[in-house]
Amino acid sequence: MNFGKVAVMMGGKSAEREVSLNSGAAVLSALRSAGIDAAAFDPQNKPLEALHGENFKRVFIALHGRGGEDGSLQGALNLLNIPYTGSGVLASALAMDKWRCKLVWAAAGLPVPDYEIVTPASHFAEIEARLGLPLFVKPANEGSSIGISKVKESGGLRAAFALAAQYDPCVIAERFLAGGEFTVGIIGDQALPVIRIVPQTEFYDFAAKYSRDDTQYLIPSGLGSARETEIRTMALRAFQALGGRGWGRIDVMLDAEGRAWCLEANTSPGMTDHSLVPMAAKAAGISFGELVIKLLEEARCD
């Protein structure tokens, strides 16, 4: 395809800026290696209107967090009539908002862990008692495990809430599931091989994702063929329930009895050659360069 000049949207203003710069650099390198006229575009440094001024014909979104994967950028690109990679406005907004994402999944009959919205007026001890300990506390509209805490002792919810509330006024407390963490990459209508994530930290936090080299990513996942198919099917259903398109990732947890639960959705996952979706794509026989081109081919407006 003749893509024209491609903007790799990277950086931005969110708390995940540095992660986005890494993703964008990897995508930009792959596009240029394929002979595509591509350039970096950081919306922190220039207005989106410059996309027309600089004659960009498509946008590869490598932004993470607010302003990049929450629907706002997607809406702006729709108005500019510039095709872009990944999901549109609604799916992006729903996936970014962990609370409303859970509401949609529950309405669609998908399993979600027990949770409660926490506010300054909440009865913290009662929430701890209802959900049980340990539990996780997270801002509803952040990614990369930013602002997340694992509460292991009675009375710890208040401090965990205060930390999460620094990043978002909507804070979720969620039941801990002890059966392991898995993730499923999605490309179009295909669910990629399941990855089992085994951090050496207390949980899969920011350091385990980006700065430590001892986190294990297991492909095959060890689930067995039938169970893997079940979880991939569930993940694809979860992605489609949000209206997702192009590509994304669904995080899944197992409980102590081995039951699978939908945890979170990501419509703009990491895109370095060590990130989870490229890792799963490689296991499916899709190279990083092929993946980037495939995603760009599917770029469109709502």
Q: Which of 84, 115, 167, 210 is catalytic?
A: 210
Provide CB contacts within 8 A for 213, sequence distance 6+: none
> Which pair of tokens denotes residue 106?
């529950």
Q: Which of 16, 128, 168, 205 is catalytic?
A: 16
Provide CB contacts within 8 A for 256, sequence distance 6+: 177, 178, 179
Is residue 266 flagged as an active site residue?
A: yes
CA atoms within 13 A on the CB side of 241: 23
DSSP 179-247: S-EEEEEEETTEEPPPEEEE-SSSSS-HHHHHT-S--EEESS-SS-HHHHHHHHHHHHHHHHHTT--SE
Is residue 130 flagged as an active site residue?
A: no
Is residue 228 flagged as an active site residue?
A: no
Q: Which of 92, 266, 268, 275 is catalytic?
A: 266
pLDDT in tens, the chain (302 residues): 789 999 999 999 988 899 899 999 999 999 999 999 999 999 999 999 999 999 999 999 999 988 999 999 999 999 999 999 999 999 999 999 999 999 999 999 999 999 999 999 999 999 999 999 999 999 998 765 678 999 999 999 999 999 999 999 999 999 999 999 999 999 999 999 999 999 776 656 555 555 557 789 999 999 999 999 999 999 999 999 999 999 999 999 999 999 999 999 999 999 986 799 999 999 999 999 999 999 999 999 98
Is residue 251 flagged as an active site residue?
A: yes
Q: Which of 97, 251, 268, 275 is catalytic?
A: 251
Is residue 264 flagged as an active site residue?
A: yes
Is residue 210 flagged as an active site residue?
A: yes
> Which pair of tokens denotes residue 188?
């179009």
- E strand or H helix at 1: none
Q: Which of 147, 264, 268, 275 is catalytic?
A: 264
Q: Which of 97, 249, 268, 275 is catalytic?
A: 249
